[in-house]
Amino acid sequence: MGVGTAGPHFAFEPIMKFLDQAKIYCRSGDGGDGVVAFRRERFIEFGGPDGGNGGRGGNIIFEAVQNLNTLIDFRYTQHFRAKKGGNGAGSDRTGAGAPDVVIKVPIGTQIFDDDQETMLADLDVPGKRITLLSGGDGGFGNANFKSSTNRAPRRADKGWPGEERWVWLRLKLIADIGLLGLPNAGKSTFLSVVSAARPKIADYPFTTLHPQLGVVRLDMTREFVIADIPGLIEGAHEGAGLGDRFLGHVERCAVLLHLIDGAAGHVGRQWRTVRGELEQYGGGLADKPEIIALNKSDAMTPRQISDRRKQLQEASGAPVYVISGVSQQGVPELLEALWKVILEARQK
């Protein structure tokens, strides 16, 4: 069974900058004012108050939509304000309600309060909407205060003010598989082979500076998404290298695919380094199912493959797949194993 390379292209192109967090200001609309008005119509013996109520202010609504994969738009537009509701009018007419402001964000966006710790919403499903700030209610017109003892009230209320707050948007990519490994483990090459993604590939560390997404199609009915994050090094949880900031993008994955550079040797140490960073990061990453692949078999002798596979199995206590991202040796078998884990997770 061949590995499909056709289909949607989810790689981030150089012309599109990847931004996974942004701070924005939101304010819902004030309510419209009520009015003081009286009926003064010819030939009508009894007039009376007929001032209408104000309209409701616009809400601030967030919606998760497909076909967005970065928060780059919020670098240039950081203030969102809904309009005020319309004022009331005579003849007991209510003011018009203001339109809502719908802010569209990528699926997987989390909204945090200004303290960056209190989560207000998690938009992890396509089409999910959350009303973050409600518009102010309209004020009452004088018709609302009419009573048997106050036949001609001259009171009308101002509209209620809207709400405002600064919030942080944080994007966590939605993917089935999280691709992990030290720098130069061959993650970008693997992603380019199994999907239509075209990440940067070179023989120096940290060629991947931002998360990459690729769609893998095994056949017409089976497909899944892989997220490749920048390589981890020892001390990443303390900020070494590119740090562990991008690990949030694999928190939602069903399974972690851990690539080990077989040609570099010290495979057990490589595995322990990345596992240690996952445990230090937390977020349940260390407890996720993990599939280990010894990469770059084309650059090793059969004896080296056997010895290093055994070392890796002893260090991890798990089975190890031997693959080559360049020659695609062992890649179809690895993808089938990944699909089985993904299928179980989806069924749950």
- Average pLDDT of span 54-60: 94
Q: How far is CA 325 from CA 185, 190, 250, in A?
A: 10, 5, 21
The residues with which 60 forms a beta bridge, in sequence order, are: 101, 133
CATH code where residue 197 lies: 3.40.50.300
Do 198 and 156 lie in one domain? The reply is no
- Average pLDDT of span 64-91: 86
Question: What is the DSSP annotation of 303-329?
Answer: HHHHHHHHHHHHHHSS-EEE--TTT-T
Instruction: Report how far residue 296's alpha carbon sits from residue 291's, in angstroms, rounded to the nearest whole number.
Output: 16
Do 232 and 124 lie in one domain? The reply is no
CA angle 139, 140, 141 (to 5 degrees): 120
Do 103 and 207 lie in one domain? The reply is no
The highest-confidence range among 45-49, 157-161, 234-238, 241-245, by mean pLDDT, is: 157-161
Q: For residue 256, give every residue at least 6 positions away whose Cβ sits within 8 Å of its Cβ, in sequence order, or none.
A: 177, 178, 180, 250, 285, 288, 289, 290, 291
CATH code where residue 96 lies: 2.70.210.12
Model confidence at 11, pLDDT cuts 50, 70, 90, reads: very low
Q: Which of 121, 139, 171 is the last residue of a domain?
A: 171
With contact defined as beta carbons under 8 Å apart, do 53 and 3 qualify? Answer: no
- Average pLDDT of span 117-141: 90
Do 310 and 258 lie in one domain? The reply is yes
- Average pLDDT of span 140-157: 84
SS3 26: strand
pTM: 0.64
DSSP-derived secondary structure letter, 121: E
Do 188 and 314 lie in one domain? The reply is yes
Q: What is the pLDDT of residue 163?
A: 94
Do 238 and 99 lie in one domain? The reply is no
Model confidence at 249, pLDDT cuts 50, 70, 90, reads: low
Which candidate, 74, 61, 71, places its Cα nearest to that of 100? 61
- Average pLDDT of span 39-52: 74
Tokens 């518009």 belong to residue:
135
Instruction: Report how far residue 11's alpha carbon sits from residue 78's, in angstroms, rounded to the nearest whole number.
Output: 26
Q: What is the pLDDT of residue 210?
A: 57
How far the first Cα of the chain sits from its last, in Å, is 27
Query: Poorest-confidence range of 26-30, 248-252, 312-316?
Result: 248-252
Domain with 231, as residue range(s), is 177-347
Do 196 and 210 lie in one domain? The reply is yes
Does the pLDDT of residue 236 top 50, yes or no? no
Instruction: Report how far residue 59's alpha carbon sits from residue 190's, in angstroms, rounded to the nearest whole number.
Output: 45
Does the pLDDT of residue 12 top 50, yes or no? no
Backbone φ and ψ for 336, nearest 5 degrees, come out as: -65, -40
SS3 269: helix
How does pLDDT run across 189-225, given as a tens digit for each residue? 888 888 755 544 444 343 344 567 777 888 888 888 8
With contact defined as beta carbons under 8 Å apart, do 187 and 164 qualify? Answer: no
Model confidence at 235, pLDDT cuts 50, 70, 90, reads: very low
Q: What is the pLDDT of residue 17?
A: 52
Do 35 and 145 lie in one domain? The reply is yes
Q: Which of 171, 196, 213 is the last residue of a domain?
A: 171
The residues with which 215 forms a beta bridge, in sequence order, are: 225
Q: How far is CA 316 from CA 67, 242, 253, 320, in A?
A: 38, 25, 20, 9
Does the pLDDT of residue 1 top 80, yes or no? no
Which of residues 231 and 274 earns the better pLDDT score? Answer: 274
Q: What percent of the chain has pLDDT over 70?
A: 81
Q: What is the pLDDT of residue 58?
A: 95
Instruction: Report how far residue 126's alpha carbon sits from residue 108's, in angstroms, rounded to the nearest whole number.
Output: 9
CA 122 to chain centre: 8
